[in-house]
Structure 1
Amino acid sequence: MSLVQYGSSSEDSSEDEGHVSSNAIASLSKSEPEAVKNGKKRTREDSGVQNISKKGKSKPSLPPLPTALRDLFQERERAPDDPSLHQGRTRSKPHVDGIWATTVYIDIPLTEELTDIVSTIVARAKALHPTLEAIPEPHISLTRLFRLPALHLDRFKRDIKAVFEKRCKVRLSFSGLQCFSNDEQTRSFLTLRVGSGHADLESMLAEMDSLAVKYGQPTFYDTPELHASIAWALGGHILDQSTVEAILDKENIVDGHSELDTDIRHCVVFAERVCWKIGSQVESLTLR
């Protein structure tokens, strides 16, 4: 929405009222001899010039908008999306006022063991793809991207809490490294594929799909491959199976797995926080 533009009073009046028109002057000139014939000289007040002059005076300036109101308009005024401000990422759909991008996900706690594993993976991946970006807070998505009207947000939050308030934390392990790309093929992701705990997460997905239908939003993928994203790169096919093999050092295999692959499979974490992100605001609920 564009800011309301207020023209100054002087600009509004300059053409309509700031000058005596040529027609008015001609009319006054014609009437002057008639007044002399009658032995009466018309005064400026009689001629109407004074009244026109009064109209031509500048109107008082409008008072400035209150700061609070001005700030409100500024918050609603959105600059065009600039990928350079978002690490090259582009919005898949244009922003619409009053519609909020919303996602629900499970937060993955970075234990010391998992931090070491992720750091090793990201370092090796960056050596292959220098533009790769790490994801500082790994998570497992439970929904696709929702676009919710503002008037539905409070009810949506209540529904999310009702779904998860009696759920218990989930014991998770990982079965390996895998790459995915987003629906628009604009980014690719390096992820840890979920091993144990998959059934618990699928149960959560089913409830999220019910909410998706309730709010007219897209349901999750038909054959979900649950994963925790740890890094991304621009381009739908930048990160692929060859990237995975290079990171895992497939040339040095012991008992069917590389050392890093074995570390990934032995790592266990307890996911105990469900988050929902609406716009840039994140709220969460701790599982029992």
Structure 2
Amino acid sequence: MSSMSSSHDNQKRPPPLPDRFFDYYTAAPRIGDDPALHSGRSRQVGHHEGQWPVHVYVEWIVRDDDLMAELDNVVPPGCLSLVVSPLGAELPLHLSLSAPLVLASDHARDAFVDAVTAAVANAGAPASFTVTFSHAEWVTNSDRSRLFFTLRANQNPQLHTLLAACNQVCADSDLPTLPDAFHVSLAWKLPYKEPHEQADEFDRSAIDRLLPELAFQVDTVKLKVGKKVVRIALVPTL
């Protein structure tokens, strides 16, 4: 469980960071692929000169201090929180619309950005919609090198529409597509059990009490290319 101070403390928190702040400070400085440099995790997308790691997602920035503290408090012991940093600073959460991908050239990067931008604009999703959650669960990444403590999103036709558009771009580019199972990761740890064996390692009653308060608005899709973030605003459906 994180050591983040409760928002009920007498100390006054600084004002929240603007959401665009996280577009410019999206990653720690590059320090190599050695797992020892990354809390034991192995990078799914290694650093190679001339290649571009990319990821499509929607972002959730928890603005309510009390809610952020409660989310951090349900992070199971032994996990690294994705809700707040080790210094107690807020962190942006995300819901993926693509797998972590690698593009082999500047040309491929530019073509992918253009294709995703056009696909999102033409997908027919409304200009804004709400994401809510049904339950918490453990999920492994594709190479089973990490376990993630996640919130599973409720069925949402708007998310399905956006995912279908992004998956089509990936399929057209011979890139991996993403399964239709939306979630937001709250924390991670190195695996030592299968996901179904982790069932009792978080406080289900605390999560159930919190679920009605957990929701966020989506009006922008983000496309991270290297360290740059491209914002794609959703347009009203005609």
1:114 to 1:80, Cα distance in 2 relative to 1, 3 A: closer
1:164 to 1:265, Cα distance in 2 relative to 1, 3 A: same
Question: How far apart are residue 259 of structure 1 and its match?
Answer: 4.8
The 2-side partners of 1:156 and 1:138 are apart by 23
1:144 matched to which residue of 2? 99
The 2-side partners of 1:220 and 1:193 are apart by 15
Instruction: Say which of 108, 120, 123 aligns to 1:164.
Output: 120
1:92 to 1:111, Cα distance in 2 relative to 1, 3 A: closer
Matched, 1:120 2:65: no
2:82 aligned counterpart, secondary structure: strand
Instruction: Say which of 55, 58, 70 aligns to 1:106.
Output: 58
Question: How far apart are residue 263 of structure 1 and its match?
Answer: 2.0
2:33 matched to which residue of 1? 81
The 2-side partners of 1:205 and 1:92 are apart by 21
RMSD, matched Cα = 2.6
Instruction: Say which of 161, 174, 189 aligns to 1:216.
Output: 174
Q: Which consecutive unaligned segments of at least 5 residues does structure 1 have? A: 1-77, 250-257
The 2-side partners of 1:96 and 1:285 are apart by 27
1:152 to 1:121, Cα distance in 2 relative to 1, 3 A: same
Instruction: Say which of 227, 231, 239 aligns to 2:187.
Output: 231
Identity of counterpart residues, as a percentage?
25
The 2-side partners of 1:230 and 1:79 are apart by 24
2:228 matched to which residue of 1? 281
1:263 matched to which residue of 2? 210
Q: What amino acid does structure 1 have at the position aligned with 2:130?
A: R
1:153 to 1:176, Cα distance in 2 relative to 1, 3 A: same
TM-score after normalising by structure 2: 0.71
Question: How far apart are residue 201 of structure 1 and its match?
Answer: 0.7
Instruction: Say which of 147, 159, 163 aligns to 1:201.
Output: 159
Tell me if structure 1 keeps the 8 A contact 2:72–2:81: no
2:145 matched to which residue of 1? 186
Matched, 1:134 2:93: no
1:77-129 per-residue CA deviation (whole Å, 9 max, x = no partner) reads: x986322322222234654432211110111131416424422212xx1xx21
1:172 to 1:82, Cα distance in 2 relative to 1, 3 A: same
Q: What amino acid does structure 1 have at the position aligned with 2:202?
A: I
Question: How far apart are residue 276 of structure 1 and its match?
Answer: 1.1
Q: What amino acid does structure 2 have at the position aligned with 1:169?
A: S
1:187-240 per-residue CA deviation (whole Å, 9 max, x = no partner) reads: 1101111015x221111111111101121101122xx221011111122637x4
Aligned length: 194
Q: Which consecutive unaligned segments of at least 5 residues does structure 2 have? A: 1-29, 84-90
The 2-side partners of 1:245 and 1:160 are apart by 40
Tell me if structure 2 keeps the 8 A contact 1:161–1:285: yes
2:4 matched to which residue of 1? none
The 2-side partners of 1:243 and 1:89 are apart by 19
1:247 aligned counterpart, secondary structure: coil
Tell me if structure 2 keeps the 8 A contact 1:176–1:265: no
The 1-side partners of 2:233 and 2:226 are apart by 21
Is the helix fraction higher in 1 or 2? Answer: 1
